[in-house]
Amino acid sequence: MFGMSKKFGMMGGFAGMQMETIAAISTAQGQGGIGIVRVSGESAISIVDRLFVAVSGRTLAETPGYTARFGKIFDQGEELDEAVVLVFRAPHSYTGEDVVEISCHGGLYVTKRVLSAVLSGGASVAEPGEFTRRAFLNGKMDLIKAESVMKIIEASGKSAARAAVAVNDGAVSRKIASVNADLVGLSAQLAVWADYPDDADFDADFSSIKEILSQAEEQLARLVRDYDTGKVLVNGVNTAIIGAPNVGKSTLMNLLVGSERSIVTDVPGTTRDIVEETVVVGGITLRISDTAGIHATSDLVEAIGVDRARGRLATADLVIFVFDGSRSLTDGEFDLLNSIKENNNVLGVVNKSDLEPVLNIDYLKKFVKDVVKISAKTGVGAEELEKSVLKMLEVAQVDPSEGILVSERQFFSVKKALESVREALSVLENGLTLDAVTVSINSAIDELLVLTVEKATQVVVDEVFSKFCVGK
């Protein structure tokens, strides 16, 4: 079914699969309180047993699963570090194999020395995502759950983490399995009817067929509909802060970041290039670009910054257009407002609310989706800004804990399945043969099976795990 890398040998499918013992550092590469070397495979326990001496005198071979031992790690007789070693026995481990995790002090040198000792003992270097790949191959998870593991690792906000955890817990897989079970049952029913058309016991119930298809359509359509919002929750939002020079863009950026990330002066044109930062607003990750003030300029360097700002304006998922509330609009701001009036992703932020108001806010509302007043200098209005951002992104209507699609692969498979279900409904309503209905139903089933494992090709599997970090 799957073509394996050189580390895998197939013996009648997954059953009897022989895999080398692998190892990798599973914690971040750098200084820290703890460093973990993970070892997985048939020889994991015996390899680490040759390196580790427990203070209790007990070997890992006689250690039951889910048990920790404290002792010291040695490499060719040289003491490397004190360590806590955790033993997980197959099949009750993350990978479904024997797994040993060595927790030592988190200095990069020590952790690499421990890994080197494990590799010298007979383990092979794990490829990116190989531990999770093995969990998938050993039936510990489907592809949907495997993708969620990476999303949990990447999560930079509360909503992203909640969505990924929900998928990891099987929320999406259960939805897909439920729809697929209904469609498989319906396909089997239609196959029986086709084989025994004259048997009264197998009369096709058209109303029942339509009901099952309609329910499947509703569930799949909801997953497709929530994908864009779910993508915002999981991946974050590409956000551009734009406006004329000296309206407070950089001050707003610093307010959101919580530190002086952008240089702030009273001199117009201070920001000449794009300053980028990632912040979390209301649980949503915003990838913010503080751009140069958009205006006409003869300064060559400043003009390049303005061009780049216009480029970010064109590609941003969310645009925060900052205005100085203490003065009227400039000609440049009028022109910019007219250029973005067709955009439905622009939030107007009227800054300097601590000064005497001059700007006509009602006029702004003709061009932007929402307007909020703040003082980026004092922080007044920050809560209102957060509420407005969440309103703009329309995330309140989606509960990430209910399960949402977390990758384009999942989205396109569900979308294709939905199209096939709708095609089956259309065929049924147009009075065509049930054979044609069955063809469309089976196409939907095939697409849903791709989501998990049954129809997944090696190319699909490789694509899923190519994005993983080493050690997971």
In Å, what is the CA distance from 330 to each residue of 77, 212, 294, 305, 412? 76, 59, 11, 19, 45
Answer whether residue 90 shows pLDDT above 80.
Answer: yes
Phi, psi of 387 (to 5 degrees): -60, -40
Which region among 49-63, 146-160, 293-307 has the lowest average model confidence (pLDDT)?
A: 293-307
Q: Are 390 and 171 in contact (CB under 8 A)?
A: no
Report pLDDT for 255. Answer: 84
Q: How far apart are alpha carbons 205 and 30 in whole angstroms?
A: 64
How confident is the model over 338-347, as a mean pLDDT?
A: 79
Answer whether residue 470 shows pLDDT above 90.
Answer: no
Q: What is the CA radius of gyration of the chain?
A: 29
Percent of the chain's residues with pLDDT above 90: 28
* Residue 131, H or E segment: helix 130-137
Q: What is the pLDDT of residues 125-175, one digit of tens each?
A: 998 888 888 888 888 877 777 676 655 555 555 555 555 555 556 677 888
Q: Provide the CA 235 distance to its chain's centre, in angstroms.
A: 6
Report pLDDT for 466. Answer: 60
Cut 0.85: pTM above it: no
According to DSSP, the β-strands at 78-88 and 124-125 are unpaired
Return the higher-pLDDT residue of 9 and 39.
39
According to DSSP, the β-strands at 35-40 and 22-25 are antiparallel
How confident is the model over 214-225, as a mean pLDDT?
A: 91
- The residue type of 129 is G
Report pLDDT for 162. Answer: 56
How confident is the model over 250-266, as a mean pLDDT?
A: 60
Based on the number of CB atoms within 10 Å of its own CB, is 75 exposed (0-12), middle (13-18) or buried (19 or more)?
middle
Report pLDDT for 398. Answer: 64
Q: What is the pLDDT of residues 16-35, one digit of tens each?
A: 456 899 999 988 777 778 99
Place of tokens 């004092």: 378
**Considering only CA atoms, which of 370, 386, 377 is closest in space to residue 353?**
377
Based on the number of CB atoms within 10 Å of its own CB, is 111 exposed (0-12), middle (13-18) or buried (19 or more)?
buried
Which region among 55-69, 131-145, 174-188 has the lowest average model confidence (pLDDT)?
A: 131-145
Return the higher-pLDDT residue of 183 and 202.
183
Which region among 123-132, 201-210, 253-262 has the lowest average model confidence (pLDDT)?
A: 253-262
Hey, is 35 helix, strand or coil? strand
Answer whether residue 248 shows pLDDT above 60.
Answer: yes
How confident is the model over 317-341, as a mean pLDDT?
A: 84
Answer whether residue 416 shows pLDDT above 80.
Answer: yes
How confident is the model over 253-280, as a mean pLDDT?
A: 55
- What are the structural domains of the chain? 8-142 (3.30.1360.120), 153-226+403-452 (1.20.120.430), 233-393 (3.40.50.300)
Mean pLDDT of the chain: 77
Q: How far apart are alpha carbons 413 and 446 in whole angstroms?
A: 9
Report pLDDT for 128. Answer: 82
Q: How far apart are alpha carbons 122 and 174 in whole angstroms?
A: 40
Q: Report the b/e string of 426-455 with b at 16+ CB within 10 A.
A: ebbeeeeebeebbebbbbbbebbbbbbbee
Report pLDDT for 294. Answer: 46
Q: What band does 282 get if pLDDT is binned at 50, 70 and 90?
A: confident
Report pLDDT for 257. Answer: 76
Q: How far apart are alpha carbons 308 and 289 in whole angstroms?
A: 11
Answer whether residue 385 shows pLDDT above 80.
Answer: yes
Report pLDDT for 123. Answer: 94
Report pLDDT for 157. Answer: 53
Place of tokens 């006689």: 62
Answer whether residue 356 shows pLDDT above 70.
Answer: yes
The three-point CA angle 322-327-332 to 5° equals 60
Report pLDDT for 408. Answer: 81
Q: Which residues pair with 373 in a beta bridge?
A: 350
Q: What band does 269 get if pLDDT is binned at 50, 70 and 90?
A: very low
Sorted by sequence, the CB contacts under 8 Å of residue 62 that are 6+ apart come out as: none
Return the higher-pLDDT residue of 303 and 356.
356
Q: How far apart are alpha carbons 440 and 288 in whole angstroms?
A: 44
Structure tokens at 255: 């307010």
E strand residue ranges, 360-411: 370-373
Cis peptide before 91 (omega within 30 of 0): yes
Half-sphere exposure of 471 (CA within 13 A, CB side): 17
